[in-house]
Amino acid sequence: MKKTVTTLADGRELIYYDSADDTVRDAVDPRPLDAVSTSSEIRRDPLLGDSVAIASHRQGRTYHPPADECPLCPSREGRHSEIPDTDYDVAVFENRFPSLAGDSGRCEVVCFTSDHDVSFAGLTEDQAALVLEAWTDRTADLAELPQVAQVFCFENRGAEIGVTLGHPHGQIYGYPFVTPRTEQMLRSMETHRAETGRNLFDDVVARELADGERVVLEGEHWVAFVPYAAHWPYEVHLHPRRRVADLRELDEAARTEFPQVYLELLRRFDRIFGPGEPPTPYISAWHQAPFRAPGREEFALHLELFTIRRTSGKLKFLAGSESGMNVFINDVPPEAAAQRLREVASE
């Protein structure tokens, strides 16, 4: 992998990740851009104890542009985008409309490929491996920023999820705090250790492997399963068999196998509802240990992949119980979801 760091016309950082070591990236962003002005503010809720990012400047962000005006496609004659070069493998840049910025953290956009019309599931294994390298490298770089406490790499796919740009891309958030979801996992982890003397994540994975009914896919170095208490209609958790705290700690064997396993999961997701159905909307989220949290070595890196589509033509909306009280009601039994995901395996 070759990494090339440059800047856009307004001073934002842009990083190219290329498979070929001899790739030269010297294109200059010619756009007359003003410096990015953000109004990100973190406010803490005194009742719930969590944090909310107030980011009013995001109201003006790009919204469903036509394909020939996509800001994530490579630049071409007469049409300059966020990527100055005429082609790229993987590109990462600071978000022009960040939810978090400055002392309040950092937001980046990850473009998985220059091909506007492909999805992550359509990437080759080599392309997916390069994205993994980019996620890992960004995690390492952001870990050095004093204002970043935790890094979250994720992809939202589909208009139903709220995606406003159709180009295959994801995002990376560098939070200035430990997220509420992670704090809850850390508390559960500590309680489990105190009660049993064992690691909670290890026990969860061992339970799923022993039961087997909810296991979707097993590799030599990765295992994917629908969790016992899945929140979403179709939800899969992907764990490396060797527990690590974050992407930086994956060994070479796990990195090599990851593209095979992950691409298979994504392709199964697109087949859940049968032929002729539109691509399945999903959220794919990496859970990594906070950098400076006590007991971070006990945390287990894992990826959660889920869809809000519960059946053909119907979405799972967060209604009163979910939105008001955070008590989820799942219409699809986890065992049935796992069975369906095994049925649609690639031949």
Express as a percent the part of the chain with pLDDT over 70. Answer: 98
Is the pLDDT reported for residue 345 higher than 60?
yes
pLDDT tens-digit profile of 15-25? 999 999 999 99
Angle at 79 between CA 23 and CA 39, to 5 degrees: 90
**Is 116 among the residues known to form the active site?**
no
Q: What is the pLDDT of residue 123?
A: 98
Q: What is the pLDDT of residue 131?
A: 98
17 vs 275, more confident: 17
- How far apart CA 307 and CA 318 sit, in angstroms, is 13
Q: What is the pLDDT of residue 57?
A: 64
Q: Which residues contact 195 (CB under 8 A, 6 or more apart)?
A: none
Express as a percent the part of the chain with pLDDT over 90. Answer: 87
All domains of the chain in start order, with CATH: 2-175 (3.30.428.10), 180-343 (3.30.428.10)
Is the pLDDT reported for residue 296 higher than 80?
yes
Which residue type occupies 342?
R
As a whole number, mean pLDDT of residues 206-221 equals 98
Looking at every residue in the chain, the average pLDDT score rounds to 94
3-class SS string, the chain: CEEEEEECCCCCEEEEEECCCCCCCCCCCCCCCCCCCCCCEEEECCCCCCEEEECHHHHHCCCCCCHHHCCCCECECCECCCECCCCCCEEEEECCCCCCCHHHCEEEEEECCCCCCCCHHHCCHHHHHHHHHHHHHHHHHHCCCCCCCEEEEEEEECHHHCCCCCCCEEEEEEECCCCHHHHHHHHHHHHHHHHHCCCHHHHHHHHHHHHCCCEEEECCCEEEECCCCCCCCEEEEEEECCCCCCHHHCCHHHHHHHHHHHHHHHHHHCCCCCCCCCCCCEEEEEECCCCCCCCHHHCCCEEEEEECEEECCEECCCCHHHHHHCCCCCCCCHHHHHHHHHHCCCC
Is the pLDDT reported for residue 212 higher than 90?
yes
Confidence band, pLDDT 50/70/90 cuts, at residue 64: low
Q: What is the pLDDT of residue 78?
A: 87
Q: What is the pLDDT of residue 347?
A: 75
Confidence band, pLDDT 50/70/90 cuts, at residue 37: confident
Question: CB pairs under 8 A, 24+ apart, for 177-183?
Answer: 177/42, 177/51, 177/149, 177/150, 178/149, 178/150, 178/290, 178/293, 179/150, 179/152, 180/48, 180/49, 180/50, 180/51, 181/287, 182/150, 182/287, 182/289, 182/290, 182/293
Q: What is the pLDDT of residue 205?
A: 98
- pTM of the full structure: 0.95
Which of 167, 169, 192, 237 does the annotation list as catalytic? 169
As a whole number, mean pLDDT of residues 30-34 equals 91
